[in-house]
Structure 1
């Protein structure tokens, strides 16, 4: 497999630089400002945890997925193969990196097609940048026999990218065309700068069913593209944007179904995402590190470890289902609390969400080994002091 010298080199540069941001000690981010209140008698047997979630008419086995990363060269194909095998072995959903290079040069398609070849029955999302046509969207879906199509928004990245295209004026029209033309549901995501309240409302009005807020705090594509620029003169944009935490807190009532990614460093961050209203959380950096430095077996072991710990954490916090985490008591601190204050969100109300649960003696934890099934709690609307 070969790739055009410019596009292929850019893909390999992205992979190398993204991996370089994965240090041994995960960097602090806004997830650290979300503290789950510890209730010592709230826990349940992890055997009773049912982690499955419904997404776009499919039942995912866990509220966790491998987010879009790479593809299109020999090096990136090896990473995709390891990730695809791990997705197959663990049963979680997976997204590809942008398949635009394969649409322009079909010789690079095997680096993406390996995702479906290695995982023929799994939930697979194709990925394409905004600005492509409806016909190209259909080709992207066909390439991977995809169950959904991720359209990524990357205005900051395009601004910093040496080869970037900075005319964003047609993006809304192009997105509406893709939503109308795609044979599968369209999932809109950022690439690490966050989806604001206004953007989420606009996506809803366009008919987008699901969105990944993909906030700042994980892989920083402003830093990646700046490292590829002579002079590196856009360093001031590093860290620009809103975190996944802040995007989830500020999401409007009429937002699409929300997924969370961007700085998800551990199963605890997955739990925090679910507690803030996400249906599932996407991971790129931590799983990229496993696939880049190891092989499919190692990547599978890493993901299995996340799934085991996620179930154990849900048991610790007394949540039989991911939806039940929507009643978890949270303390919002630091930058997140400041964001809430400036955005008119009542941060203090998150500390008493559990008060809405049944009184002591009737909780799921005290109901014995075979409780009567109760519909999962629906997360309360995010409290706001302004409309």
Structure 2
């Protein structure tokens, strides 16, 4: 387990690159007269799990070895310094081996008052979920869904039959809000229906376009590779389009392929209430350390406000009423799924903006 965690980080570094993705197929319409000032911008986001001053956070990545302990320390130091939330990677390793506890507990030790997500897989039982929460004195729990990764992982699970029932038990039994997230393969309407019925506090659609665990796990296979599954799943943008009929019924987060503050704002405009960043921040942490990551997060905060000013949006509610133009794959997907993309293109007129 410890070796696999370090392999994931090494293979992430070897395969990391920022490239075009479906966020590039979502466009705002420029307005030459924003009619406001920067001091009017407020990007506070209200969530079932609390009020955050910034609508993005460091999403779950790693832990389970000495190397990943140092990474978690860096991530949590940056979260503490910038006041944003941070999520643990899967804590399964520490639940199996108490010697690995500190590779996760470092998140709380260096960020005593911060908002921290614990993280477990959907295959784990209620008692394990409670132990993961206690391990970090966590404010909320992420339960991750990663069936494609498990299939490609040489030693991965092959039985997903208990996942939904386990999740329902966890939601009923733990004392903190539960957020269900994918790990980079996106979600569909059918999944949203099940998760909303299960009573989860929020859903992180976590689509493809960023860190690709099929690529990473394929690199760990000596034979019988799954290269043909490289593009499996839905992008974050397409997953948010799938979520449109459920925006009023559930709270949605977005992650996967988020490269810069403009991507954050596009996800928020598509209905996400908060945006998780994994690969982009992990790459900075590995290359530039804590100081570099703190500087990047502060730059993102500033640029987020500046782009909201450019859009004439004093708050996130106004952003969610901005017209959006879809192109490429998201446009085709929306039309085939009966989602009426033309309504997104003119929604400001219906809201009187």
| TM-score > 0.5, shorter chain as reference | yes
Rate the CA distance shift 1:142–1:315 in 2: closer, same or farther, 3 A: same
CA distance in 2, matches of 1:118, 1:135: 26
Q: Deviations over 1:199-253 (max 9, x none)?
A: 0111011111211000011100011111101126100111210111111111132
User: Structure 2: any 5+ residue segments left out of the alignment?
Assistant: none
Match of residue 83 from structure 1: 75
Measured after TM superposition, the shift of residue 358 of structure 1 is: 4.3
Deviation at 1:20, TM superposition (A): 2.6
Match of 2:43 among 35, 38, 51: 51
Cα deviation, 1:246-271, whole Å, max 9, x if unaligned, reads 11111132652000001011100000
Q: What is the match of residue 184 of structure 1? A: 176
1:274 maps to 2:284 = no
Runs of 4+ in 1 over 6 A off after TM superposition: none
Question: What corresponds to 1:239 in structure 2?
Answer: 231
The Cα RMSD (Å) is: 1.2
Equivalent of 2:310, from 307, 312, 316? 316
Matching of residues 75-154 of structure 1 within 5 Å: 75-154=67-146
Number of residue equivalences: 351
Please, which moves more after superposition, 263-272 or 290-299?
290-299
Q: Secondary structure at the match of 1:287?
A: helix
Q: Distance in 2 between matches of 1:20 and 1:40?
A: 42
Q: Normalising by structure 1, what TM-score?
A: 0.89
Equivalent of residue 218 in structure 1, options 197, 207, 210: 210
5+ residue gaps, structure 1, are: 1-6, 360-387
Once the two structures are superposed, residues 257-293 of structure 1 have per-residue CA deviations (whole angstroms, 9 ceiling, x without a partner) of: 0000010111000000010000011100110011111
Alpha-carbon distance, 1:21 to partner: 3.0
Superposition deviation, residue 22 in structure 1? 2.4
1:367 corresponds to:
none
Q: Distance in 2 between matches of 1:43 and 1:306?
A: 23
Higher CA-based Rg: 1
Contact 1:115-1:144 within 8 A present in 2 as well: yes
CA contact (8 A) 2:49 2:177 kept: no
Which secondary structure does the structure 2 equivalent of 1:272 belong to?
helix
In structure 2, the partner of 1:378 is none
Is the 2:116–2:138 contact (alpha carbons within 8 Å) kept by the matching residues of 1?
A: yes
Structure 1 contact 12–76 (Cα < 8 Å) conserved: yes
Contact 1:96 1:125 in 2 (8 A): yes
